[in-house]
Amino acid sequence: MKLSINIDHIATLRNARGGNEPDPILAAKICEDAGADGIVVHLREDRRHIKDQDVITLRRIVSTKLDLEMGANEEIISIALRIVPDLVTLVPEKRQELTTEGGLDVASQKEKLKDVIERFHSKNIAVSLFVDPEERQILASKECGADMIEVHTGEYADAPSGEEQERSFQTVKLSAELAHSMNLAVNAGHGLNYANVRRIASLPQIGEMSIGHSIISRAVVVGLDQAVREMIQLVKK
């Protein structure tokens, strides 16, 4: 099991004062030194946290894997094709949302996404689609030519009761098994934290977790290096 760290909220804190601190670039290096397998950033259209220069610099200094989350917007696509991250994760994007809400509706835009994926593949950039744990979205992801999916675990993470969490877990499990059977690599993310991550990490079909907010929140108390190491203990053991 691999763990990639989303450092968007380091940039959120930096931008709150309009200065240079805390530095997302330094944060990325601390995460890698603590054992993270990759760095994730979301370059949004409104640039609310990660900026273009952050991605340019991260592409130069990240030694593990750089995963660029993004909407299928032509401006951001062009930036990604120029920077060439190791992985692009296509997500839905709304200006008013606090964080990504729900998975990408791949089934309703297969032709568009197929074209976008082909453009990335022409630059040898792997593509993941962030989708809800639904059969039709997974089948559509395969038809589009995606290399992998990232299963949206928000419903599992936010379940108000143990019964509902169990139901959501089983849905994630079945979706991961389906995607794996179709030779799609499987990642998982959204809402995962120190209390709920172990069950998702136990699924053998899932190869990687993408976690951000809970780690950055924990880092405020114990420091980023320690917060990453604590999550690695949960995810990998």
* Catalytically annotated residues: 42, 69, 190
Tokens 């994926």 locate to: 117
Q: Going along 87-161, which residue ranges are E strands?
A: 87-90, 126-131, 148-152
Read off the DSSP letter of residue 147.
Answer: S
Residues with Cβ within 8 Å of 170's Cβ and at least 6 positions away in sequence, in order, are none
**Tokens encoding 5:** 């760290």
Contact 60, 85 (CB under 8 A): no
In angstroms, the first-to-last Cα distance of the chain is 9
